Structure 1
């Protein structure tokens, strides 16, 4: 009986957490490499209510830099660019080199809120690190949650 009650409470908690999420998707990189010409595209169709957009970067110890420059571009339903910004996402501490994301072993995930406040239907991500191929980036994703 205790196990059933605990299981029901856990399911209720998980269902409650899901209500705030409008959209969440991650796209993995081939061979943990993000090539400069690879545009990562998501189509969450966000409109109406207040929301926050969160960028997720899954990386490992093969990543050679302290941070990641990512350019995001958002578009409306007609494909018109609404906004485009370059973001600096810190992945390792400057002094110690310790990973800033959460994870275990040699893989970590770092989340950073994007400064987006208007409705959009498409978001595109590009790596802007001035190298053709970034080693150690396993996946990138976007999560949209209600505020």
Structure 2
């Protein structure tokens, strides 16, 4: 993984924390509106109280868009950054793949949406998956421009 890709992935994770993610603070509230009461009189002149039934309804509040630092996905973003830094430090391909998986899970946390945070996480995941594929292929053989497995004649 090149230094530019490393810094791009880390910058993308930092940017994902500041961009809006899905809706947070969504709630449902059951509300009751009481009926109206009024006085009625029977044939003998006696008064009694008559009330209409009330009405219950559910109030759906979708909430507002929240930035990544206030969204529950922040744990996945920070976890991805920690795995990425550990992978840079140790050179481990497994940690790099784990960071890519963490980025994919973070992007799909609220479902795929067109908000800025999930899109940046998908871009970070693409960079990390590309880095793991480049690591798996290895450096090209000297003078052939092909990976070492293809350099031997069949």
Measured against the shorter chain, the TM-score band is under 0.3
Which protein shows a greater Rg? 2
Higher RCO (CA < 8 A, seq sep 6+):
1
Using structure 2 for the length normalisation, give the TM-score. 0.26
Greater per-residue helix proportion: 2
